[in-house]
Structure 1
Amino acid sequence: MTETVSKPDQADSPYPDAIGFGFAEVAALLNLAPGAAATASAAALRVSDEIGDTRMVAAGGSSLVARGLAFADSDGVLSVGGPVAAVTRALTTARRRIEISLVAPDYSDSVVSIESAEYEILMQPRSHLTWFAMAKRPDITSAEANLFIVQSHCAEHPDGGALVKNRETPEAGELLIKVEEGAWTVGRRLPGADSVESKRGLSDSDVLAQLRALRQD
């Protein structure tokens, strides 16, 4: 069978730089610009309860100031700049959140692609409820970056796969993506469905098209 699954160059990652935040710090950043987008991002990052906890938010703000990631004026009002401001802006103005679950035997991980009109970042959970934020390279599309994540995971875990869903359109279900016999297999699981309809023998470009459709690009 012709090889249709390419392996990405790990040195050419679409997310080259990262900055880590504790979950209380994430809650504090989201509270800098509260609103519907911030609330949806909080749900995606599993801090919905924390953004309403004033002590938690205060602790997060204190931690940001101590690390030099935020500044407090004489009235105690926080402000951020540079990469932290970009992360905050993305989280609080996002119009799309793509959740990618990476699974394999004895392995699981996840990433959330947060996309606003100005900034696009990847949020990845790590130990002790921390999140790492990474900026997307500007020379590739968001769908291509999503595909890169899936490619990298399947190259490292050939017996694994990925589940991708658009949190803005849960009724569209989720894509189940894996490699079989050197080509991609993609299924779509709809909410409440008892079975998954799959397409086999797909190329990278086929998977990219499916991702774009799910994303509603």
Structure 2
Amino acid sequence: MTPSTVDEPTIAETRRARRILRLLTARYPDSRLELDFSSPLQLLVAATLAAQTLDERVNAVTPALFERYPAAADLAAADPAEMEQILVPVGYYRKKTASVIKLAATLVERHDGEVPATLEELVALPSVGRKTANMVLGNAFATPAISVDTHVSRVAERLGWSPAKDVLAAETAIQALFERKDWVTVNLLLILHGRRTCHSQRPACGACPLSPECPSNTIGETDPEKARALLK
């Protein structure tokens, strides 16, 4: 699967994108990935565990998980029942245990226990899609990449950058609008904005710094006081 093609952005569109980046940076000056990790392996596993659960829950269990199983070989050789007990808080713990063990075993078999640093190799791993692969590339390897989750897709659509729910179009559009050196930062800011302001239901339009730049600035709560109460 490859990114969709998009028209080259105009000068006006790239200037607008830069204004949006400045506004988001001012709103979220300490932006960072909300999954805790200290190595590519830890991020890859944490991202696998984060499916259908909150990052906070993943962060609560990964210290014990990685203390017990510090390397891919340890994860691959884990007793499923023992790992399941650690992963209960993240939900779907039996399925996620099986996924982590299979992922780790594949890393050992194909990559000597190391996490590969290319998109093609990452998406070839079990349970690793394009979103997770780009997350790992951008945050663990400092490789310019755009990881489109539901928040990024939603914000990109509302800003008029891509069609609704078109993940590849959103990825390609954001890449075209911003310099490569800014991709990871933009990515993190869009995720935070989707989580804290531009909610899927009742976005806080009246308290949104992007409102002057957003064609969707009336779809949510427009009263400033009521909108501020919706911020997270």
The TM-score, its normalising length taken from structure 2, stands at: 0.27
More helix by share: 2
